[in-house]
Amino acid sequence: MDFIIREVENNPEEIDAVKDFLYGQIMIEYGIGPTPKFHYDIEGIREYYILPENNNIFIALDGDKIVATAAIRAYDRDYSFFKGICSNDDTASIWRLMVDKNTGGMVLPVNWWV
């Protein structure tokens, strides 16, 4: 299998396809549908991952089928124990790392995000 890994494009059709993939994976793994308390960033993919300069979301494609996602977001939490240690200038979080379990043998290269 040859996978293509690339940034999600800023167009409604692709964003909807990413949402469908993510919600499908969440249903399989957690047995829940879209839940605003937990999935606000999925509903706001453009605002959370595409538009901000330090954020991004990637998809892995097998042909035209999305088989994995991974998002990176500048640190945006306000945990007291990280005050003065983590900031959105020098810390990032990995979000929405999902791989379709039917994509057997998929191995991401160490530098897939570069």
pLDDT higher than 80, residue 107 = no
Domains of the chain, earliest start first:
4-99 (3.40.630.30)
pLDDT above 70: percentage of residues in the chain: 75
Sign of CA dihedral 73, 79, 85, 89: positive
Q: pLDDT for 15-53, tens place per residue?
A: 999 999 999 999 999 999 999 999 999 999 999 999 998
pTM over 0.75? The answer is yes
Strand partners, 40: none
pLDDT higher than 90, residue 89 = no
